[in-house]
Amino acid sequence: MSGRGGAAVLGTGAMGSGIAVRLAEAGRAVRTWNRTAGRADVGHPGAEPCETPEKALAGADHVLLVLSDDRALREVVGVVAGAVAEADRPPLVLALGTVASATVRDLATRVPLLDVGMLGNPMHARTGDLRLYVGGDADRVEAARPLLDDLGKDVRHVGPLGAGMDLKLALNLLMGLEMQALAEVAALAGRLGLDRRSVLEIVGGSGFASPVMRFKGTRMAAGRYGDPDFRLALMTKDLGLAAAAADAAGPALPMTGAALRSHEAACADGWGDHDCAAIAAALDGGGPGDH
């Protein structure tokens, strides 16, 4: 690979595709691979789709694992660990999907790893406006900083390995609780005979709302849950990780448990692949086919 340092992006879903395009536009040589055959092409001439992870890794200085859950991360690290170990100059591996910090620490025994908690959506990934919270060895963080600066407007080293995931999990927990609260406000308003759209607009313009509540409130008001920014299934996964972390660490998080049960029920009703704002529709009962 040539350019400003080669990067292999393994996992080309919504976020991974945006990251690959951004790195290519920043002048880096990019190769991509996805576990699902035929999905590695991100539609940019500077990002070369590969049929195997080994081809994507060849000559890469950085390997970005943009994967949705712990199982996927373990699977892909298992595939690439041998190739990384045999490289003349082993690349630095960055885990960017939200997983348990214990998983990251375990996998760091197999590959040189940093964990990067990402805050933002696919458009932020394409424009380099992510917020990136990095856990790991300080020297490795500094080695990765030029690439991270290409991707993020705010890059922070937040602690040892696992700290990036722990912070991202805490932030996603807050978002999940905000979505649950906003959905319940809409549900109560509707059952009291108020106009739900007007109530959501009023909440969005009030001092009670965060920016994400204003943004997601427009989806709830319009009933627009397709083309998700962040799937409800992933929010459910992160609420489950938060609940498990709380069980292990000790604090009781009753709101987390309640939101998790509500999200699990929504996934069971078929809302998992819709935007996480669909928790509002799920509270009305039934699945997408009933709305």
**Could you tell me the pLDDT band of residue 194, with boundaries at 50, 70 and 90?**
very high
Same domain, 12 and 144: yes
Q: Is the pLDDT of residue 3 over 70?
A: no
Same domain, 94 and 193: no
Tens digit of pLDDT for each residue in 245-280? 999 988 899 999 999 999 999 999 999 999 999 999
Residue 2 counted as domain residue = no
Tens digit of pLDDT for each residue in 62-82? 999 999 899 999 999 998 898
Same domain, 132 and 197: no
Q: Is the pLDDT of residue 16 over 90?
A: yes
Tens digit of pLDDT for each residue in 110-147? 999 999 999 999 999 999 999 999 999 999 999 999 99
Tens digit of pLDDT for each residue in 230-250? 999 999 999 999 999 999 988
Same domain, 124 and 207: no
**Could you tell me the pLDDT band of residue 2, with boundaries at 50, 70 and 90?**
very low
Same domain, 122 and 174: no
pLDDT of residue 210: 94
pLDDT of residue 4: 65
Residue 66 counted as domain residue = yes
Residue 93 counted as domain residue = yes
Q: Is the pLDDT of residue 1 over 80?
A: no
Give the position of tokens 């991974």: 16
**Could you tell me the pLDDT band of residue 83, with boundaries at 50, 70 and 90?**
confident
Beta partners for residue 132, in sequence order: 118, 155
Q: What is the CATH number of the domain that holds 182?
A: 1.10.1040.10
pLDDT of residue 131: 98
Cα(283)–Cα(50) distance, rounded to whole angstroms?
A: 42
Number of folded domains that form the chain: 2
For 164-176, what is the mean pLDDT?
97
pLDDT of residue 251: 84
pLDDT of residue 147: 97
Cα(125)–Cα(217) distance, rounded to whole angstroms?
A: 22
Same domain, 18 and 155: yes
**Of 161, 191, 226, the domain-final residue:** 161
Same domain, 136 and 192: no
Same domain, 260 and 142: no
Q: Other CB atoms closer than 10 Å to residue 254's CB: what's the count?
A: 8
Q: How far is CA 233 from CA 16, 23, 259, 276, 287, in A?
A: 18, 28, 13, 8, 14
Q: Is the pLDDT of residue 184 over 80?
A: yes
H or E element: which one contains 193? none
pLDDT of residue 153: 97
